[in-house]
A and B are shown apart, each in its own frame.
Chain A
């Protein structure tokens, strides 16, 4: 054995000497020979205990960091499953001593999971709490509380303290939730009850003896031990909870600790907000739109520097395309639907990074940030890995037996009459595939974008890694990384940020009362450039916990103006400036108290209209078109603003959803609105109104009303897909004019009004978005010429020539872009760029090629024309899909739509191809494709073969591909195309904050030079997911760049804004925003 390790050391030495590059990397893997840490979580599967007998057999163990002997050096405690846990005393210089036995913290013969350290009894020494699996299939264990006796010795007093829980514990977190000065305990447990059978989400109300627990520490009451307060605390403690992750922080900045719990399987994650009265209120669905599905570990930490912690949760979405394409993905739409029916929240199989927007709730930006996929992941840790002042994210991953492999699921089983049931299951386990991958190290590039630096930082050793923690083990001002691996020695990585020239500040804390270690303290470091916040909360990541010394990377900063501290009891203090590159010690009571300034927000008054849009969809488009990427059933409400009764006040028409009447609201002189009843609106309620416009169509100088209908339910030509014209009488009455319009019956999406023939009346270009039942085909868009009396004729061919293909149109406007006195038609939509049709002579409109728009093709929903930069030329503003999506498009790597009847069975299918790395692969899964085109199964009989697809020809023959239409998308960013002097355009995207959600409405306010952006869309396919990250933002163009413009509004964060119009109410300028399945919102413009 000795010889062997000597050989290894020699090998390592050679390796190190040969490969100097490794040494220069940010992190260096320290050999156990030098550290003395020889811990390995060795696990072997047996007939009696394996992944089929215990579902979390491969979840591994955690690691906790903490200075147990107060010598200023952080010690480490590793949890093991089938061997004993180990405690390593830090001797300095990256040398450790295994004192497990002498310290009395061995756990032979029992299965440990999580570990955390906290000073439970207020004696100034860290105690250790171990979570274990209780009596189960031959395992016997109970949770341990090792009370620190000093002299590096511990005694398990879990029973005495009343926390010797027997069950399935994952991890514990200590927090002073009632702020009585002592540390209470939240115990995270997991169920083992068949998670595959869905039951009503209401069942989370039923407490179970094995559910999560909250224990109150009785120390401040003068007693030893904990009291189970689960029942009265408001936390869920049911068998639905498959708790895998816990972290504590003050999420809403009210000075009280809140808790985030990640739950595996169907159950929602829990966001427990502290009610400041000894109870918690689970508030996840109020402020979070979607979470990870199989939520594993989590972390709460501030990334943006606003003092509000972001949330990261991990899941199991593979990163590598070849693994992704053969692994279980999102729930099929029908399963997703069932879970919703059972009452569960929206969950997607990927990591989530929830940006804390304060009162606006959280915005998941994982897809924007690029941290959504890290394979089968466990522990996420948000910390500054390179001390550049930006927090990075490290994620451990790996599972020894990989159950999400689709070939295993579908094809592995082979009937064998010679096997008994046990042997049969054993063979199945043996067939589970094995893939060992490196962990992920996401470097924060600024601007909330992250890039994996695992290789360049020296952190790319393949492993099955579970728990992880960080700590400054050598007190050199950077955070070293410690990872608990399965069947492989633990990784101890030394951080070499000290060589980077980046500065740092280390902070130690002493608090009052029974929590001298100051667990639960939040520290802010403030310099002129920015603020950084950290919260010492111990437990985080997965089954693991960090130490009490907070290490701030400061980048190139040379000074710190001040340090703010919020102590666990809620008191805030500020400490003066400190020198950088040192360790400071902050003691409660020695700083300057900060009195909380109660910010009084003057409540603004907004107009009110008690109308709410009620979306009603009779048809699920995905049943008809299985591969359609998005729905068109929720594009309303229609919204039009105009003075219909000639009193000089703006009135409003809102168009209802299917089975909902449109409504007209007349403005009264006092700024209130009064509904003007109209029976005809009720009678036409069946139509889904999505666009509307006021104009005088019949020449009587009163405003008339055009209402366009869509919804993608009714087939082309259907009555309720037909648009309608109503003539106004100038008093607020409108009469339906059934003969006004020629038959169209498409899914209307855009109305562009113009007097094209200069005869003094208003003509209309009517844009259509989609052929009902055939996404990807071009619906008919038409030019309606007004006969003068409000009767329109289809003159499309006359003006645009025969067979002009307008494509899928989402937005169309007339504008004299080139100032030649004649309006151009500007239109765009899914899978097409911004197209300009100009009038050269007579009635002839032809499409012109505009330089700079060649690569404008996207999923633009909304166009607005305005002179944004005041250069006298009209620019084109676009509301597009944005960047917070799985679909990534660029000029080099467009997203493609292939549309056609691939299998010649009479129905065309839309198939999206997108680039993953260098390969152009279908976005749909093999299962989804096969449902529409079974022949694909013949071409790729296994998922493995399917996963090797590198281009469309690997999926379809050339003869098929020749016959289908192909449309690229190059640009998903919303922004502005600035018109240049020569008529060409230059694109300037909106800032990242406006790329977090699809923008469905762009409204330009000329007076203030502000663009209003209304977004959010929840009707994408399940595998694209709902996108509700930003309902509203507003920007102003200032000196060559966009800046955020905070406007007061009533817009609710998760609402889906479809239409924004400007309106004057009571002589003040407002924006009025129509939301799908929601009210009318108001935005203050002056």
Chain B
């Protein structure tokens, strides 16, 4: 399989080389190194600009999709997702001969990604440095221009597609109203932020028929009575927290993935920002692509499919969150068990059920297993930049299960939200792979 790919690739390169008669720049971009670096930068900007987990995922997905569509336009082995994804139409791109496809793909990634974040300067600075380094490798200016133009051409199609997913409109949808009814979600200390993205279920799905297609089981019926099922699941969180082992605490902190933790000491407040759950899994996708030696096209495919899976996970999960509108353990435990209790992790600002990290982790792990096989040694260094250690896993599902359970150890989710969340994520990812085809499954076994 590798041979086929290599030959095809060489063929394209040969043409390029013979046309320009200049330095052989064909090896300037081969693997997913550059797009992974671009993704790291997007992650930094997402953190800086403070995008919430669902919105962050949307950014990764459209940028990755643009990069992937360039790959699909030059390599018949890859099927375009346009036409397969909800609300998209098939587009036939015909890149000129001057286009250096991996550069166009990278340019498309930067172009779409930059359009979706706020701190454009941070992105542009990174892009310019990357492009300068690539120019050093001898890519002629006309090739450069043609590649960027083609990246933009594909990017514009993706941008147009993204503009119709209702995101823009949803900015002015009504803010969430706290009803104050028993058992419903209330803002939590210390920032008491309003519930974020209450209308995320109205964002267009890429693949799912509807946001509620994989509606999870509901949480246990609310009750404040001692001995009731609900009381018990809350008590379980409380006991788990106060009896947590160091190993469990390490797990909770490793997967915290809180893009906006507010530290408060008296009058001093400052936000401590980390990558989102989606960002963490996109990083695992990059780590796996590199470990598996995927080329730039394969990496784009991994990014696009992981992004789509995460995106559907957040829509499905957020749909349930605002359906069940469930009180967080912190609020319940403070009211009914221990007034002074503070969870190990800071409670994020949205209703409890189901656990977003559980749904997202299960969905992306399923997709990565489709692409690499489930058993895969992962050296997860995603959080090193945030002062956390490296953790290793033997399979994607192992990582996902740990990520899901981390929310329980962290004191921010009841167990049902985790268990039902895992099912929800896995089921929806399974569905995605029955509906969408990148025609790469045959090469995925590695």
Interface residues of A (CB under 8 A from B): 51-52, 55-56, 194-199, 294, 332, 334-335, 337-338, 341, 401, 403-404, 408-413, 415-417, 419, 424, 428, 432, 620, 622-624, 626, 903, 905-907, 909, 931-934, 937-938, 941
- Asked if residues B266 and A55 are in contact (CB atoms below 8 Å), the reply is yes
Complex Cα spacing A496 to B404, Å: 72
> Counting CB contacts under 8 A, is B140 at the interface?
no
Mark interface residues in B199-234 (1 if CB within 8 Å of A CB, else 0).
000000000000000000000000000000000000
What 8 A-B pairs are tightest by C-beta distance, nearest first?
A55-B266, A907-B172, A196-B190, A196-B264, A937-B118, A403-B268, A197-B189, A334-B194
> Counting CB contacts under 8 A, is B22 at the interface?
no
Mark interface residues in B373-397 (1 if CB within 8 Å of A CB, else 0).
0000000000011111000000000
Complex Cα spacing A432 to B49, Å: 20
- Asked if residues B171 and A932 are in contact (CB atoms below 8 Å), the reply is yes
* Beta-carbon contacts under 8 Å, B257-300 to A: 264-274
Write out the residue numbers on chain B whose beta carbons fall within 8 Å of the beta carbon of A199: 339
* Beta-carbon contacts under 8 Å, B105-153 to A: 118-121
Complex Cα spacing A1086 to B176, Å: 52
Minimum CB–CB distance for A140 against chain B, Å: 21
11 further A-B contacts with Cβ under 8 Å, apart from A412-B270, A415-B273, A626-B175, are A51-B265, A51-B267, A52-B268, A409-B270, A415-B274, A417-B388, A428-B268, A432-B268, A623-B174, A932-B172, A934-B118
- Asked if residues B171 and A335 are in contact (CB atoms below 8 Å), the reply is no
The residue that A404 contacts in the complex, of B267, B272, B386, with Cβ under 8 A, is: B267
The residue that A55 contacts in the complex, of B176, B177, B267, B272, with Cβ under 8 A, is: B267
- Asked if residues A906 and B169 are in contact (CB atoms below 8 Å), the reply is yes
Closest Cβ neighbor of A622 among chain B residues: B175
- Asked if residues A338 and B49 are in contact (CB atoms below 8 Å), the reply is no
- Asked if residues A623 and B118 are in contact (CB atoms below 8 Å), the reply is no
* 30 A–B contacts from the bound complex (CB under 8 Å): A51-B267, A51-B268, A52-B265, A194-B264, A196-B190, A197-B190, A197-B342, A198-B189, A294-B267, A332-B194, A334-B175, A334-B178, A334-B187, A335-B192, A338-B186, A403-B268, A403-B269, A410-B50, A413-B271, A624-B175, A903-B172, A905-B172, A906-B169, A906-B172, A931-B175, A934-B118, A934-B171, A937-B49, A937-B118, A938-B120
Complex Cα spacing A408 to B272, Å: 11
If A620-B177, A626-B175 touch, whether A941 touches B118 (CB-CB below 8 Å) is yes
- Asked if residues B189 and A623 are in contact (CB atoms below 8 Å), the reply is no
Q: Is the interface of B mostly helix, strand, loop or mixed?
A: loop
> Counting CB contacts under 8 A, is B168 at the interface?
yes
If A419-B387, A938-B118 touch, whether A411 touches B172 (CB-CB below 8 Å) is no
- Asked if residues B270 and A428 are in contact (CB atoms below 8 Å), the reply is yes
Minimum CB–CB distance for A497 against chain B, Å: 37
Minimum CB–CB distance for A233 against chain B, Å: 27
- Asked if residues B386 and A415 are in contact (CB atoms below 8 Å), the reply is yes
Closest Cβ neighbor of B55 among chain A residues: A934
Q: Is the interface of A mostly helix, strand, loop or mixed?
A: loop
Interface residues of B (CB under 8 A from A): 48-50, 118-121, 168-169, 171-172, 174-178, 180, 186-187, 189-190, 192-194, 264-274, 339, 342, 384-388
Minimum CB–CB distance for A744 against chain B, Å: 25
Closest Cβ neighbor of A58 among chain B residues: B267
Complex Cα spacing A51 to B50, Å: 26
- Asked if residues B192 and A338 are in contact (CB atoms below 8 Å), the reply is yes
If A411-B48, A412-B270, A417-B386 touch, whether A341 touches B180 (CB-CB below 8 Å) is yes
- Asked if residues B265 and A55 are in contact (CB atoms below 8 Å), the reply is yes
- Asked if residues B169 and A337 are in contact (CB atoms below 8 Å), the reply is no
Write out the residue numbers on chain A whose beta carbons fall within 8 Å of the beta carbon of B118: 934, 937-938, 941
Write out the residue numbers on chain B whose beta carbons fall within 8 Å of the beta carbon of A413: 270-273
Minimum CB–CB distance for B44 against chain A, Å: 9
The residue that A903 contacts in the complex, of B171, B180, B269, with Cβ under 8 A, is: B171
Closest Cβ neighbor of A902 among chain B residues: B172
The residue that A195 contacts in the complex, of B120, B266, B271, B388, with Cβ under 8 A, is: B266
Write out the residue numbers on chain A whose beta carbons fall within 8 Å of the beta carbon of B49: 937, 941
If A341-B180, A932-B172 touch, whether A56 touches B266 (CB-CB below 8 Å) is yes
Minimum CB–CB distance for B200 against chain A, Å: 15
- Asked if residues A198 and B192 are in contact (CB atoms below 8 Å), the reply is yes
Complex Cα spacing A294 to B387, Å: 35
Minimum CB–CB distance for A526 against chain B, Å: 45
- Asked if residues A409 and B175 are in contact (CB atoms below 8 Å), the reply is no
Closest Cβ neighbor of B177 among chain A residues: A623
Write out the residue numbers on chain A whose beta carbons fall within 8 Å of the beta carbon of B192: 198, 334-335, 338
Complex Cα spacing A450 to B271, Å: 38
If A416-B387, A417-B387 touch, whether A623 touches B175 (CB-CB below 8 Å) is yes
Write out the residue numbers on chain A whose beta carbons fall within 8 Å of the beta carbon of B386: 415, 417
Minimum CB–CB distance for A296 against chain B, Å: 11
Minimum CB–CB distance for A327 against chain B, Å: 12
Complex Cα spacing A417 to B387, Å: 4
Complex Cα spacing A410 to B267, Å: 14
Write out the residue numbers on chain A whose beta carbons fall within 8 Å of the beta carbon of B50: 410
Minimum CB–CB distance for B58 against chain A, Å: 13
Closest Cβ neighbor of A199 among chain B residues: B339
If A906-B172, A932-B171, A941-B119 touch, whether A338 touches B187 (CB-CB below 8 Å) is yes
Write out the residue numbers on chain B whose beta carbons fall within 8 Å of the beta carbon of A933: 171
Minimum CB–CB distance for A404 against chain B, Å: 7
If A197-B190, A198-B189, A294-B267 touch, whether A415 touches B174 (CB-CB below 8 Å) is no
